[in-house]
A and B are shown apart, each in its own frame.
Chain A
């Protein structure tokens, strides 16, 4: 990205008069604005798609009133959320209460710095890309615990604590599943991982033909991703029937919208990361961006599909799946993948 800006400064005469610091800051802000616009649009489309798919999976129509087939429903909802009163409970810790949604949103926002859309359409070709995504996903946990604690409500606190237990434990199999891929690509950068995979499905890491260990790792990574984005069947932190709405019970209006967009953005990030790591990223029969977005949105559809198929697990079952099923399986996969990478 910096090389583009440098080229721009060299080619446009007026920009040479301006101090480079201002140009870089402006470019950073512009990049943030573009990404923010993209994720708000994607979140709106996904919320609409989720409601529509949910409706049809339950043999009903879903939103139908706002616009043709309810296509403007998300727009109406976001206007409503913007105009709603912003309340802070009396017992809440005001500063932390207001900071928490921003932290959660930031945790979901920063991975876009390294997520590639195609070979060249990427903000930063960081050489530790996947490590960066995994480590910054942890910011979200802090934000959620902060929201749960600062709300001054028992439901929020339970939700925050459950999420902390769930996300921290699911990050272990997630990271181990990433290691299976890293064993083959030999690099943590998302570009190098993508280049280690070919154009066709049997050349992807998700295919058992390439390596059975990464194929299992793909499933483990996706399930752990479901859990870390609090999607059903792992949506214990906001289980409606038990905890009202979990950690965001006390939030309303714009602050709730931050949580909501943050959640859907985190889903997008997990699906895009899965697509890059295991499904060959932008490799494929179509132009790069189409491949990448197609794979990402297919994985998002599977997330929605799973949500409207499976019931919610109990918290002990959630931890059981993580510690007694995914963790041993992913450990075996890491060892197997390492042996295969060394021996073959």
Chain B
């Protein structure tokens, strides 16, 4: 008798749980999708996000501290002169190596390197993942 009762209870439970599940999916059908149409729509990046760096070349005093503290030496700095008169030729960060640890920004005495909000690093060659910040700044200045 108990087995018969269990049999019918199972059938009722199956119908009940299927209805519950159908309700959940129906609710989702009419709610707004949570995904974005990525290249067209960009996600909103929160403050404090550690993306690709931003670099202010006019503040930089070429102290070399960021190069020294970088745990994987992904920063290359080349300069002439010293202190505020320093001329910076090269400030490259290799993003194939960079682990976005934020140490370079913390150690910077003049606060010239920050973590930015850009995250899109897709490129066809490995060389394109090395971003020449000093050259970019020079180009910007010329313009």
- A residues touching B (Cβ–Cβ < 8 Å)? 53, 55-61, 64, 305-306, 308-310, 325
Q: What are 20 A-B residue pairs whose CB atoms fall within 8 Å in the complex?
A: A56-B28, A57-B25, A58-B28, A59-B31, A59-B33, A59-B34, A59-B35, A60-B33, A61-B33, A64-B37, A305-B22, A305-B25, A305-B26, A306-B22, A308-B25, A309-B18, A309-B21, A309-B22, A309-B24, A310-B21
A331–B18 CA distance with the chains assembled, in angstroms: 24
A-B complex: 8 closest residue pairs judged by Cβ atoms:
A60-B35, A309-B21, A57-B25, A309-B25, A59-B34, A56-B29, A60-B33, A57-B28
B63 to chain A, nearest CB (A): 48
Q: Which of B33-59 contact A (CB under 8 A)?
A: 33-35, 37
Identify the closest chain A residue to B21 (Cβ).
Answer: A309
B13 to chain A, nearest CB (A): 12
CB of A57 within 8 A of CB of B22, answer no
Q: Which of B4-38 contact A (CB under 8 A)?
A: 11, 18, 21-22, 24-26, 28-31, 33-35, 37
Task: For A309, list chain B residues within 8 Å (CB).
Answer: 18, 21-22, 24-25
Do A57 and B29 form a contact, CB below 8 Å, given A64-B37, A325-B11? yes
Identify the closest chain A residue to B22 (Cβ).
Answer: A309
A338–B11 CA distance with the chains assembled, in angstroms: 24
- B residues touching A (Cβ–Cβ < 8 Å)? 11, 18, 21-22, 24-26, 28-31, 33-35, 37
Identify the closest chain B residue to A65 (Cβ).
Answer: B37
- From B22, B24, B37, A61 is in contact (CB under 8 Å) with B37
Task: For B26, list chain A residues within 8 Å (CB).
Answer: 305
CB of A53 within 8 A of CB of B34, answer no
A50 to chain B, nearest CB (A): 13
Task: For B35, list chain A residues within 8 Å (CB).
Answer: 59-61
Task: For B34, list chain A residues within 8 Å (CB).
Answer: 59-60
- Starting from the known contacts A64-B37, A309-B22, 9 additional A-B residue pairs (CB-CB under 8 Å) come to A56-B33, A59-B33, A60-B35, A61-B33, A61-B35, A305-B25, A305-B26, A309-B18, A309-B21
A196–B28 CA distance with the chains assembled, in angstroms: 39
A219 to chain B, nearest CB (A): 9
A325–B21 CA distance with the chains assembled, in angstroms: 21
CB of B24 within 8 A of CB of A53, answer no
Task: For A55, list chain B residues within 8 Å (CB).
Answer: 33
Identify the closest chain A residue to B11 (Cβ).
Answer: A325
Identify the closest chain A residue to B27 (Cβ).
Answer: A57
A96–B73 CA distance with the chains assembled, in angstroms: 63
A223 to chain B, nearest CB (A): 10
A229 to chain B, nearest CB (A): 18
B32 to chain A, nearest CB (A): 8
Task: For B29, list chain A residues within 8 Å (CB).
Answer: 53, 56-57
A32 to chain B, nearest CB (A): 37
Identify the closest chain B residue to A324 (Cβ).
Answer: B7
B143 to chain A, nearest CB (A): 35
B15 to chain A, nearest CB (A): 9
A55–B29 CA distance with the chains assembled, in angstroms: 8
Task: For B22, list chain A residues within 8 Å (CB).
Answer: 305-306, 309
A76–B33 CA distance with the chains assembled, in angstroms: 24
Identify the closest chain A residue to B37 (Cβ).
Answer: A64
Task: For B33, list chain A residues within 8 Å (CB).
Answer: 55-56, 59-61
Task: For A60, list chain B residues within 8 Å (CB).
Answer: 33-35
A128–B21 CA distance with the chains assembled, in angstroms: 38
A60–B38 CA distance with the chains assembled, in angstroms: 12
CB of B28 within 8 A of CB of A59, answer yes
- From A53, A56, A308, A310, B18 is in contact (CB under 8 Å) with A310
The residue among A55, A56, A64, A306 with the most chain B CB atoms within 10 A of its own CB is: A56
Task: For A53, list chain B residues within 8 Å (CB).
Answer: 29
B10 to chain A, nearest CB (A): 9
A60–B29 CA distance with the chains assembled, in angstroms: 9
A316 to chain B, nearest CB (A): 15
A60–B24 CA distance with the chains assembled, in angstroms: 15
A300–B25 CA distance with the chains assembled, in angstroms: 16
Identify the closest chain B residue to A61 (Cβ).
Answer: B33
Task: For A310, list chain B residues within 8 Å (CB).
Answer: 18, 21
Task: For B21, list chain A residues within 8 Å (CB).
Answer: 309-310
